[in-house]
Amino acid sequence: MTIDHLNHINLRAKDIHETRDFYRDVLGLTEGFRPDFNDFGYWMYAGDETAVVHISHCDPDSDKRTNPDAMGHGLDHFALWAAGLKDQLAMLDKLGIKYDKRLAWNDTMVQVFFKDPNGVIIELGYDAVKEGVNKENYESVPA
């Protein structure tokens, strides 16, 4: 048995429209086809064929599944590979979204961490060489 890749994540949100807008406007994902399920939601696509983020409604009074202020057990974050680091950082700055930026993997990858409206931590990974980042010009940004 082998696993090829992660297909998607599903987020349960109190405000699915706000969450859809965040993933569209901040990450550049596009809303696309979603089968006609019994409940309303959104599928957000990276490119034309891959619905990487599914958004489902949850009961507003339900308990949180994510604790964004702790380092407990369970799902910590999910990561997407991206391009266009400078534009993404400008977008986050413009929207006042706090983020943590790190140089990792022997200085070959820039990681950017921030939270969505539901407190879910997102990591965007960038190829440092393609983004023109190296040890000499890297600027750390702690959240």
**What is the model's pTM?**
0.88
* pLDDT tens per residue across all 143 residues of the chain: 877 888 899 999 989 999 999 999 999 999 999 999 988 899 999 988 889 999 999 888 877 766 666 666 677 789 999 999 999 999 999 999 999 999 999 999 999 999 999 889 999 999 999 999 999 999 888 76
Question: Of 136, 73, 86, nearest to 112 (Cα)?
Answer: 86
Q: Which CATH class is domain 76-137?
A: alpha beta
CATH of 1-60, picked from 3.10.180.10, 3.50.50.60, 3.40.50.300, 3.30.2350.10, is 3.10.180.10
Bridge pairing between strands 41-46 and 50-57:
antiparallel
Considering the chain, what percentage of its residues have pLDDT values greater than 70? 92
| Maximum CA extent, the chain | 53
Q: Strand (E) positions, the chain?
A: 9-13, 30-32, 41-46, 50-57, 77-81, 100-104, 109-115, 121-127
